[in-house]
């Protein structure tokens, strides 16, 4: 009951070959130190106590050595070995739910399956179930150790104007081929979900060294069945991964920290939307308004620079107006955040945000004239 777990513990502590080697080497080193100590104690006792060195005294010496060593090592472990962050997150979340501090009023469903196929079946095979799906997030390739695989964590957005006019800091990934999944303005889907999920990922990034980026909608991936079912859907993934679809894509390329970052961000997102009251709904609306104003300022600057460089002012006006319309539409979708329906206070916040974003958009459009 003791030796088998003891012997297997090193393999359980780490999946990394080099780290497992160090663990087993350290264990064997302590075994040898113990053997040497056990051999020396009788000689030391006999030399120091002469005629009084009985067997009982030798056993007492062993006992004191074991006790002092165990207490010292226990104190060292408690001092130097931190509690795993994943365990602390899970414990805190469990405590919050059990205490009632978090009380989801909506169901959170987790589907494990064959990527697009399982998402499609979940959405299409039960009309009643599909009618109750408010949001969908697909997690694919989210645990990469980017020091080994390259690339970065990405949120593939729902179709917004960056999928048509990709400029500034927006960039398509190497997975995207120019011309595949080319969209028109009729394909754009204004919604707050893009900025909401990005906000929760940036919250997690603020307390870690996690790098969070987005990419324009590229199509053909796991969240598309949600979008085809008129359900807001996003893809969380990593790219470019040099081991993607190769026999080098193994467990040693997985990062526990990366998995924890994605897990925390998605769990917080799900619990927030599943239990959102009026105050939370208004917070999300304010966050969306801030994102809208930031994006409109950026796009206005890009369009004015383009016009200054000889680009068609009409085309630039179309681009900028597409962003204004997209965020106006996104704010209008926030009515479903609050559990039980938007309260008068939340509706007032929506209308105020709409007015401010529309006003800012018109001002930026006038600057192009």
Residue 50 placed within a domain = yes
Residue 272 placed within a domain = no
Residue 209 placed within a domain = yes
Q: Are residues 38 and 12 in the same domain?
A: yes
Residue 46 placed within a domain = yes
Instruction: For the chain, list residues with pLDDT below 50.
Output: none
Distances in whole angstroms, Cα of residue 253 to Cα of each of 112, 134, 151, 356: 21, 33, 12, 46
pLDDT given at position 179: 53
Structure tokens at 118: 């399982």
Nearest to 263 by CA among 92, 37, 102: 92
pLDDT given at position 82: 63
pTM, to two decimals: 0.76
Q: Are residues 303 and 262 in the same domain?
A: no
Q: Are residues 235 and 115 in the same domain?
A: yes
pLDDT given at position 221: 82
pLDDT given at position 89: 61
pLDDT given at position 295: 98
Q: What is the DSSP string of 158-209?
A: SS-GGGTS--TT----TT--TTTT---GGG----THHHHHHHHHHHHHTTS-
Residue 274 placed within a domain = no
pLDDT tens, position by position, 58-105? 777 778 877 888 888 888 877 776 655 555 666 776 777 778 777 899
Q: Are residues 290 and 171 in the same domain?
A: no
240 cis-preceded (ω within 30 degrees of 0): yes
Residue 105 placed within a domain = no
Residues 222, 138: contact at Cβ < 8 Å?
Answer: yes
Q: Are residues 296 and 328 in the same domain?
A: yes
pLDDT given at position 86: 54
Q: Are residues 193 and 262 in the same domain?
A: yes
DSSP H or E run through 25: helix 17-49
Domain span at residue 162 reads 86-100+110-266
Q: Are residues 205 and 342 in the same domain?
A: no
Q: Are residues 160 and 258 in the same domain?
A: yes
Q: How many domains does the chain have?
A: 3
Structure tokens at 66: 């074991």
Domain boundary among 219, 237, 266: 266
pLDDT given at position 13: 66
């Amino acid at each position: 009951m003791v030796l088998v777990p003891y012997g297997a513990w090193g393999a359980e502590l780490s999946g990394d070959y080099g780290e497992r080697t160090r663990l087993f080497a350290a264990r064997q080193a302590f075994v040898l130190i113990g053997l040497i100590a056990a051999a020396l104690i009788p000689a030391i006792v006999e030399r120091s106590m002469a005629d009084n060195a009985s067997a009982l005294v030798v056993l007492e010496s062993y006992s004191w050595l074991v006790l002092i060593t165990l207490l010292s090592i226990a104190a060292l472990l408690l001092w130097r070995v931190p509690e795993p962050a994943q365990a602390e997150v899970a414990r805190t979340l469990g405590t919050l739910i059990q205490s009632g501090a978090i009380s989801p009023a909506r169901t959170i469903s987790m589907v494990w399956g064959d990527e697009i196929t399982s998402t499609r079946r979940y959405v299409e095979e039960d009309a009643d179930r599909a009618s109750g799906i408010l949001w969908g997030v697909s997690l694919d390739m989210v645990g990469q150790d980017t020091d080994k695989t390259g690339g970065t964590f990405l949120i593939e957005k729902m179709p917004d104007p960056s999928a048509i006019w990709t400029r500034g800091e927006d960039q398509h990934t190497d997975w995207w081929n120019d011309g595949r999944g080319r969209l028109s303005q009729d394909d754009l889907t204004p919604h707050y979900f893009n900025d909401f999920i990005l906000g929760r990922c940036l919250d997690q990034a603020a307390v870690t060294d996690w790098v969070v980026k987005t990419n324009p909608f590229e199509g053909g991936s796991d969240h598309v069945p949600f979008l085809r079912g008129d359900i807001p859907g996003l893809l969380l993934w990593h790219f470019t991964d040099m081991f993607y679809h190769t026999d080098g894509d193994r467990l040693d390329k997985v990062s526990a920290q990366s998995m924890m970052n994605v897990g925390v961000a998605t769990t917080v997102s799900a619990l927030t939307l599943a239990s959102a009251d009026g105050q939370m709904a208004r917070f999300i609306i304010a966050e969306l308004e801030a994102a809208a104003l930031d994006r409109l300022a950026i796009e206005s600057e890009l369009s004015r620079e383009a016009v200054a460089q000889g680009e068609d002012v009409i085309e630039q006006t179309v681009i900028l107006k597409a962003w204004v319309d997209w965020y106006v539409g996104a704010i209008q979708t926030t009515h479903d955040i609050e559990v039980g329906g938007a309260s008068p206070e939340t509706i007032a916040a929506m209308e105020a945000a709409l007015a401010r974003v529309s006003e800012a958009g018109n001002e930026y459009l006038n600057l192009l004239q």
